[in-house]
Amino acid sequence: MEVGGVKIRIISWREGITLSEELARRVESSGYKPEVVVAISRGGLVPARIISDVLGVDDVVTIGVKYWGLAHKRAERPVLYHGVEPSAVRGRRALLVDEVADTGHTLQLARAVLELMGAEVKTAVLHLKATSSTTPDYYVERVEEWVWISYPWSRHEDYREFKKRGHDLSQHFGFG
């Protein structure tokens, strides 16, 4: 679908769960055994929870990094808005999880913070866009063309942001 010059790919809950489980299997088959899963809030929260279950890792913490503002409008640089307690990651194998790598800058910032705290960090995303300057250690799909990917856990946020730009996507997102 395309709205206001922005291509949108809508991910269903079933597809989001399947992608998250596949990502966990890729980590598992690599032999990497994280001791803690670090979710990049907010997009990485749901995948991180699923991945932690599949991998049998009970320790899940979050790090808050924000880069996107209004739909399809990126801030100048990612901003860390809440961190991780250093003792949660120091000297541990950490799997840093987000839903997508658009530019790679969010992953770079979060990884740098965790490494400064003394963690051994591997990164994982559901979707790697060709526009990313960083290739995560693990990903499920590489996306060559620029498209806004709308995950079911961020559907309401995406809806509000597109509506602010004058686009009502309620029918496409199953609202109303």
Consecutive sets of 10 residues in the chain, 176 residues long: mean pLDDT of each? 82 97 98 97 95 98 73 58 83 97 91 95 98 96 92 86 76 67
Q: Is residue 171 part of a domain?
A: no
Q: Is residue 35 part of a domain?
A: yes
Q: Is residue 175 part of a domain?
A: no
Question: What confidence score (pLDDT) does residue 82 get?
Answer: 66
Question: What confidence score (pLDDT) does residue 65 get?
Answer: 78
Question: What confidence score (pLDDT) does residue 40 get?
Answer: 94
Six token digits for residue 80? 């860390």
- Domain of 25, CATH number, reads 3.40.50.2020
Q: Is residue 165 part of a domain?
A: no
Q: Is residue 113 part of a domain?
A: yes
d(CA 135, CA 137): 7
Question: What confidence score (pLDDT) does residue 67 get?
Answer: 64
Question: Mapping DSSP to helix (H, G, I), strand (E, B) and coil, where does residue 82 land?
Answer: strand
Q: Is residue 1 part of a domain?
A: no
Cα-trace Rg, the chain: 16
d(CA 73, CA 92): 35
Q: How many domains does the chain contain in total? A: 1
Q: Which residues contact 139 (CB under 8 A, 6 or more apart)?
A: 23, 101, 124, 125, 126, 127, 128
Q: Kindly tell me the burial class for residue 6, based on how many C-beta atoms sit within 10 Å of its own C-beta (0-12, 13-18, 19 or more).
A: middle
Task: Name the residue range of residue 22's domain.
Answer: 14-141
Question: What confidence score (pLDDT) does residue 161 get?
Answer: 79
